[in-house]
Structure 1
């Protein structure tokens, strides 16, 4: 009976890469999508303002500002760790959040917030705003890896890269699987450290990513 548990690392990698959701990475992506993203991204069939695009447009009109993207931008660092205070970046400053969304989840009224940041460095000579957050399930996974009493910590840590990539690809697949979320979020997978070992400023990642994107669109 125990022989089935003694699988090689190669077998574990192969299992993670398969196109099912019966693994740690797929489970994290599914919970994140169905428990949170679907509720803040998708527009309601009612007249209530709930979709991320609609709320961004309202914010833009009310404050006379421009957004670098009309989507929720989700940061996915390769280390899985993201500073809880994104505005510690020298290039980002937190402003007022978008209008919150209130949804009933299992009999509980939940209020979902989405933070807005101002990019302090111009892109193509223009200052932009952005709705930005880190992928919270990966942060939870990172925290679990630091817990010495977690008996599976060593095995999961060896599989960290595979889990990260599976989470990214499966979450992207989930977003694209529904018309009401396929164009509502943007995933940015990036290296958290430069080649010289210094930390990357999240603001630099944002500016670099959208500067290239805007250049292609103009």
Structure 2
């Protein structure tokens, strides 16, 4: 039951009890006269106050009334979700996605090289990033796909000098997806996909007893949603990255049952292919 419903029901109950007591007082007024009424008034009023107080405590009305709801949107970017999004965007995506000319290859060129070197066709030339609402991402996406997926190959490594680290390397993984999980009867689809690593860090933080752990657990879903919204905004506003990345925000548990992430990805692929087909026909 929602807090607002609980408060309404308790207030209604208190009102009804008070009304009944008032009616009893009125009856006694005419039956026993003013003297009895004065004595009875004290008893009934005291009883009314006691009942109202007990009911308010049982219903936690005091706590509900003074509960402070965290409004992440009013924090103007100071929230954890937005901070993770900025860090992930500038510290990773802006490095691996766009091309820098002759110095570094962009995502599209890396995908084309994989296709040429392995004689395969990658379904969509984008990096798919998984953003599960629980924040947990397994080391191998095969674990989250009921064996529908398996790692196929990695992209070529890219080296960058970052924050004093010389020749730091970056690479991504291409996965096979077997529709319906039938490896022997279907041709696999190839897609470059990975989880958003800041979410895994956020998940690991919540496993330890820090001062902030409880508040992170309480508002975990709101923080993750804000991460997704801010990251989507950053990518959409960047012409060099907007067409190279696909964010998939999803609930990874359905009534306690782990969702097959391969189905989630296939559903998004179907949407993209349908949209591309419609755009092609319109042109």
TM-score (norm 1): 0.86
Larger radius of gyration: 2
- Extract unaligned runs of 5+ from structure 1: 1-6
1:141 to 2:202 alignment? yes
Residue 178 of structure 1, aligned match among 238, 241, 244: 238
| Distance apart, 1:79 and its partner CA | 0.6
What whole-Å deviation, never above 9, does each CA across 1:97-156 have from its counterpart, x for those lacking one?
A: 01111111123221001011011228xx86321111101111111111111x21111112
State the structure with bigger RCO (CA 8 A, min sep 6), 1 or 2: 1
1:205 to 2:264 alignment? yes
Secondary structure at the aligned position of 1:209 is classed as helix
Q: How far, CA to CA, are the matches of 2:211 and 2:133 in structure 1?
A: 23
Contact in 1 for aligned 2:178/2:187 (Cα 8 Å)? no
Contact in 2 for aligned 1:66/1:127 (Cα 8 Å)? no
| Total equivalences in the alignment | 204
1:42 to 2:103 alignment? no
Q: RMSD of aligned C-alpha atoms? A: 2.0
Q: Spell out structure 1 runs of 4+ moving beyond 4 A.
A: none
Aligned twin of 1:4? none
Secondary structure at the aligned position of 2:257 is classed as coil
TM-score (norm 2): 0.67
Contact in 2 for aligned 1:121/1:127 (Cα 8 Å)? yes
Higher helix fraction: Structure 1 or Structure 2?
2
Q: How far, CA to CA, are the matches of 2:105 and 2:174 in structure 1?
A: 16
Q: How far, CA to CA, are the matches of 2:86 and 2:131 in structure 1?
A: 16
Residue 162 of structure 2, aligned match among 105, 118, 124: 105
| Distance apart, 1:62 and its partner CA | 2.2
| Distance apart, 1:70 and its partner CA | 0.7
1:64-213 alignment runs, 5 A limit: 64-88=119-143, 89=145, 90-108=147-165, 109-121=167-179, 127-147=188-208, 149-195=209-255, 197-213=256-272
Q: How far, CA to CA, are the matches of 2:97 and 2:272 in structure 1?
A: 21
